[in-house]
């Protein structure tokens, strides 16, 4: 059942999300995502193992299969973009730490912005997380992917 998006947030009554709170939500979501990735692998590896016989199954070939890799890469994409665009615009980690993703006017992001944010977040991680660390020196405590996507995280009470 699809929940309606929450109403716009009054941006004058919010505060930015600090670095440690962001990292706590990321850790929480990483644990959930790890479980989902194990489940996704299980759904492919076990049927293949049953068909080929577990003792002769070649998982090295599976790791090089571009369709399998694309399948696994789609799990984090669907996890984040799905949570950001449906319901409360929060992942489970964000919900636990009272964080919401919004546009600068306080409205929820659409699918295009959520996809852009996800891609930009990969860029923030690539140089050893420098895009996230940037929030420590940014005047508005924004990360690279906040700026690139035109979205931001706000603390909700």
State mean pLDDT over 31-35.
97
Distance, in Å, from the CA atom of 37 to the CA atom of 75, rounded to the nearest integer, reads: 7
For residue range 123-147, list pLDDT tens digits in order: 999 999 999 999 999 999 999 999 9
Distances (CA, A) of 156 to 13, 100, 106: 9, 7, 12
Predicted pLDDT of residue 125: 95
Predicted pLDDT of residue 52: 62
Q: What is the helix (H) or strand (E) element at residue 25, kind and residue range?
A: helix 19-52
pLDDT at 35 over 90: yes
Predicted pLDDT of residue 63: 76
* 41 inside domain: yes
* 98 inside domain: yes
Its pTM stands at: 0.86
Identify the three-state secondary structure at position 152: strand
Confidence of residue 4 (pLDDT cuts 50, 70, 90): low
Number of domains into which the chain is organized: 1
Q: Which residues pair with 43 in a beta bridge?
A: none
* 81 inside domain: yes
Predicted pLDDT of residue 149: 96
* 2 inside domain: no
* 141 inside domain: yes
Distance, in Å, from the CA atom of 111 to the CA atom of 88, rounded to the nearest integer, reads: 14
Full domain range(s) for residue 39: 13-155
| Percent of the chain surpassing pLDDT 90 | 69
Distance, in Å, from the CA atom of 35 to the CA atom of 42, rounded to the nearest integer, reads: 10
* 3 inside domain: no
């Amino acid at each position: 059942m699809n929940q309606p998006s929450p109403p716009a947030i009054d941006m004058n009554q919010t505060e930015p999300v600090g670095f440690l709170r962001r990292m706590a939500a990321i850790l929480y979501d990483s644990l959930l995502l790890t479980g989902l990735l194990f489940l996704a692998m299980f759904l492919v590896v076990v049927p293949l193992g049953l068909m080929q016989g577990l003792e002769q199954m070649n998982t090295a070939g599976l790791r090089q299969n571009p369709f399998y890799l694309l399948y696994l890469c789609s799990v984090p994409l669907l996890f984040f973009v799905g949570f950001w665009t449906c319901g409360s615009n929060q992942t489970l980690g964000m919900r636990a730490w009272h964080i919401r993703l919004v546009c600068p006017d306080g409205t929820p992001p659409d699918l295009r912005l959520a996809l852009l944010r996800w891609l930009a977040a990969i860029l923030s991680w690539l140089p050893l997380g420098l895009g996230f660390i940037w929030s420590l020196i940014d005047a508005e405590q924004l990360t690279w992917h906040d700026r690139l996507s035109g979205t931001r995280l706000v603390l909700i009470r």
